Structure 1
């Protein structure tokens, strides 16, 4: 007796590469430079591992930590951190989430997930400007990558 099994072939997904990370980093810094804002930029892969980081000489020191945490938060929750701010306020449904995990999340605008073919492949985080500025720099970088 012969049986036939239908197999669905899913195209291989290219993960976020170091070249992609460099494009994101450069694009975010270019957007920040155009606005006259000194920033730090972090890019993480889908597992939250740092692929690229750069802090402008004039950026405040804490921006390095905030950019990395924003990227990590965006990839862990697969959402822009700008969309999550209200969820962690005292009356929000996730108010205890920032302190619930071993690695702290950061719910300040500036973290944006990166998708390719509709699947999460990483995230970028920008810190150093006002939250709305950081978000716009990160969003511009993701748009430039065109993943």
Structure 2
């Protein structure tokens, strides 16, 4: 009969969890936007909005579409808070610029009425995926409060700011 050194059941589970969590943590580090990068994107976008003399709301979500960073500029529209967050989430849910998604959601489009899903989506410009140096999507940014052209321009600058 062979003898084995056995660990008590609780220690085996703990050892598994430590090994499992170590692997998960290291993989999340490279596939999710960090606090520092999320703040960098928001602040760069805010600076661009100030240069354009427009008050906006700016939201950054992580790879799981969870709010990571947000700023409401003074005098920005209250209604734009939710729109900015939904632009960021929509962009991450579908890994696409919200303006490009909007082209597919028009009457007769292949995904007409998709805005009614996921507790409401926004399919006009101002939401952009954020990619890391390897081109992997790690989050998204949403901007609302200016014209759709301004929102898109501000979001683009914020999304690209993390690569600098």
Q: What TM-score bracket applies, with the shorter chain setting the length?
A: 0.7 to 0.9
Runs (4+) of structure 1 moved beyond 3 Å? none
- In 1, Cα distance between equivalents of 2:39 and 2:161: 12
- In 1, Cα distance between equivalents of 2:52 and 2:74: 16
Give 2:124's match in structure 1, choosing from 101, 104, 108.
108
2:93 equivalent to 1:76? yes
User: Could you give the per-residue CA deviations for residues 5-52 of structure 1, whole angstroms, max 9, x where no partner exists?
Assistant: xxxxxx952520111110010000100000000000000001110001
- In 2, Cα distance between equivalents of 1:102 and 1:67: 15
Shift of 1:107: 0.5
TM-score (normalised: structure 2): 0.79
State the SS of the aligned residue for 2:65: coil
Number of equivalent positions? 136
The alignment yields a C-alpha RMSD, in angstroms, of: 1.5
Could you say which structure has the higher helix fraction?
2
| Higher-Rg member (1/2) | 2
TM-score (normalised: structure 1): 0.88
State the SS of the aligned residue for 1:47: coil
Query: Structure 2 unaligned runs (5+)?
Result: 1-25
State the SS of the aligned residue for 2:109: coil
- In 2, Cα distance between equivalents of 1:102 and 1:51: 19
